[in-house]
Structure 1
Amino acid sequence: MLAEAKIFLDRWHGYMKKPDPALLDGLLAENASISSPAYFKPKQSKAYVAAILTAVNEGFEDFRYTKEWVDGREMILEFEARIGDTQLKGIDRITVDGEGRLQHIEVLIRPLNGLIALADHVKACLAKEAA
């Protein structure tokens, strides 16, 4: 495993266990982007990616990673979680830069009702933040 992938994964797992905005800021590259299952085109902005990841972490219950694949600076992290009574499974496909910071994350989630529950939660969080 490349050093930058290992550094990122160690820090990422620490953040996921104890979500702290200060930790997240250090994990994201300045040009970080996200491909969400709710939108066709990726969104690029460190602040936007941070807001989305923060909202997602606030909504997830019983979150746990179940598998991990790493190839160079690319990784796939399979997870399970719950939003209220809705169980979901998904993957985070992450690319890190040479500094070990998240450059891009693509999130895939199933089943559809899990995706809808998560999208509704994130939308409510972002609306509250904008108010």
Structure 2
Amino acid sequence: MSEKHDADARKFLDRWYAYVERHDPALLDALVADGAKISSPAFYKPKASKDYVIAILKAVMQGFEDFTYTKEWVDGREIILEFEARIGDTRLKGIDRFTVNDTGQMTHIEVLIRPLNG
């Protein structure tokens, strides 16, 4: 992969980690591209709408407790972040898989989590 793609991914990650730490809606809005999609085992097919993606991500960040990323893989503009969190007594583990564009914005996020009811 090119250094440019790696730089796009790093730009996104720096801003994404800042959002996760601060939960600042302005940071999230700047991270999500127009027409972004979100995929999840909870959806039959991906949902495509910047506003929808933002609403889901805000709700998840508010609902999770002790949320932390534990591992990171970057391949060009494709990023996988492994995370752990909990909701009440239920421990969660999962991955966020991002695709970013050439401006460092998310165009797609796929979330895989276990247990499924998490």
- TM-score (normalizing by structure 1): 0.84
Q: Distance in 2 between matches of 1:46 and 1:36?
A: 16
Aligned partner of 1:9 in structure 2 is 13
Identity, % of aligned pairs? 70
Say how many residue pairs are matched: 114
Aligned partner of 1:120 in structure 2 is none
CA displacement at 1:84 relative to structure 2: 1.2
Aligned partner of 1:69 in structure 2 is 73
1:93 correspondence with 2:97: yes
* SS state at 1:41 partner: coil
In the alignment, structure 1 segments of 5+ residues that lack a partner are: 115-131
Q: Distance in 2 between matches of 1:22 and 1:4?
A: 19
Moved >4 Å (runs of 4+): none
Q: Residue 86 of structure 1 contacts residue 113 of structure 1 at CA under 8 Å; is this kept in 2?
A: no
Q: Residue 89 of structure 1 contacts residue 109 of structure 1 at CA under 8 Å; is this kept in 2?
A: yes
Aligned partner of 2:86 in structure 1 is 82
1:29 correspondence with 2:33: yes
The one of 34, 51, 55 equivalent to 1:51 is 55
Higher percent of residues as strand? 2
Q: Distance in 2 between matches of 1:104 and 1:112?
A: 20
In the alignment, structure 2 segments of 5+ residues that lack a partner are: none
* SS state at 1:109 partner: strand
Higher percent of residues as helix? 1
